[in-house]
Amino acid sequence: MRTERNKSRGIFLGRIFDTGNTYIILLAVSFLFFFPCLWLILASFSKSGSIYSFEGFFPEEYSLASFQRLFTDTAMYNYPKWFINTLFVAAGSCILGTFLVILTAYTMSRFEFKARKPMMKTTMVLSMFPSFMGMIVIYILMTQFNLINHLWGLILIYSAGAPMSYLTQKGFFDTIPRAIDEAARIDGATNFQVFTKINLPLSRPIIVYTLLTSFTWPWSDFILPKLLLKEKDLYTVAVGLMSLDETEFARFAAGSVFIAVPIVLLYFFLVKNMVKGMAAGAVKG
């Protein structure tokens, strides 16, 4: 009787201990992920710009001066211009790229044609080449033809490459039952109508997912703009922020926070969609 009670107390204590441990780990993990972000956010509100004037991790005095300077002191670092460039490139390639990816994925999922399997295999092989390879060639050729320093060039390259990653979207279209299509076909709808009238309205989640991913990629890419944009006024934010050194740390922090916040908010609104889309694409390959 006594041993029985002791045992149950032991289990009870063990569970509390277990729960306690779990929460300690949770706190540690959260701290690990949150701390660098907090550090940047606080740094963006520091009064002095240089990292050397900080006391350990945190600034000595706080003010909004960095944000003000970010948008007014544009002689050396024209942040507002960079921001507009980035927005232009990201929005342009988002719209064009999504259009192309959705069309490609839909056709690959719904149509049987001779070139289908070879095309799927080709894209798989192509994706194994380092993406850098193409970029270097584009860089060589663009310098040969004097085509660097054009923002639309970036849009073209981003959106033209987008259909290469159609697999997630194809996985989604595979899950929409084809019976509806066939019914509509019997009623005399053309394939074009089946796509626009039936499947497009059903695929809103995947369109949102595609829009988001094809917006964030150019928004945070640094390799291509670094290669193709040599003029300071044409920089995107990523390239611009890379050119800041330790004495401009607060400006860097402010610029980063300002460009990260919209993206982070978008992700939080859409994280459920993302998980579903990723899981669906993963299971079906």
- Among residue numbers 62 through 91, which ones bind another protein (CB under 8 A)? none
- DSSP secondary structure string, 195-261? IIIIIHHHTHHHHHHHHHHHHHHHHH--HHHHHH--SGGG--HHHHHHT--GGGHHHHHHHHHHHHH
Nearer to another protein by Cβ, of 1 and 186: the residue is: 186
Return the sign of the alpha-carbon dihedral for residues 32, 34, 36, 38.
Answer: negative
Helix 249-284 vs helix 204-220: crossing angle, to nearest 10: 140
Using the rule CB under 8 A, give the single segment among 4-12, 65-73, 202-210, 217-225 that binds another protein: 217-225
How far does CA 200 lie from the centroid of its chain?
Answer: 23
Of 77, 82, 106, 235, which one interacts with another protein (CB under 8 A)?
Answer: 106
Residue 48 is a binding residue for another protein (CB under 8 A): no
Nearer to another protein by Cβ, of 50 and 74: the residue is: 50
Neighbours of 123 (CB within 10 A): 16
Using the rule CB under 8 A, give the single segment among 62-70, 87-95, 202-210, 247-255 that binds another protein: 247-255
* CA pair distance 280, 285, nearest whole angstrom: 8
- Among residue numbers 5 through 34, which ones bind another protein (CB under 8 A)? 15, 18-19, 22-23, 25-26, 29-30, 32-34
Minimum CB distance to another protein, residue 2 (Å): 26
- Among residue numbers 193 through 212, which ones bind another protein (CB under 8 A)? 195
Return the sign of the alpha-carbon dihedral for residues 134, 239, 208, 200.
Answer: negative
Q: Which residues lie closer than 8 Å to 41 by C-beta, 6 or more apart? A: 253, 257
Residue 113 is a binding residue for another protein (CB under 8 A): yes
Of 13, 76, 141, 180, which one interacts with another protein (CB under 8 A)?
Answer: 141
Minimum CB distance to another protein, residue 252 (Å): 7
In SS3 terms, 64-115 reads as: CHHHHHHHHCCCCCCHHHHHHHHHHHHHHHHHHHHHHHHHHHHHHHHCCCCC
Residue 54 is a binding residue for another protein (CB under 8 A): yes
- Among residue numbers 153 through 182, which ones bind another protein (CB under 8 A)? 156-157, 159-161, 163-164, 171, 174-175, 178
**What's the longest Cα–Cα distance across the chain?**
90
Nearer to another protein by Cβ, of 23 and 62: the residue is: 23
Using the rule CB under 8 A, give the single segment among 5-13, 37-45, 66-74, 202-210 that binds another protein: 37-45
- Among residue numbers 260 through 279, which ones bind another protein (CB under 8 A)? 260, 263-264, 266-268, 271, 274-276, 278-279
Minimum CB distance to another protein, residue 94 (Å): 15
Nearer to another protein by Cβ, of 78 and 159: the residue is: 159
Q: 3-class SS at 46? A: strand
Residue 111 is a binding residue for another protein (CB under 8 A): yes
- Token pair of 138 as six digits: 């584009």
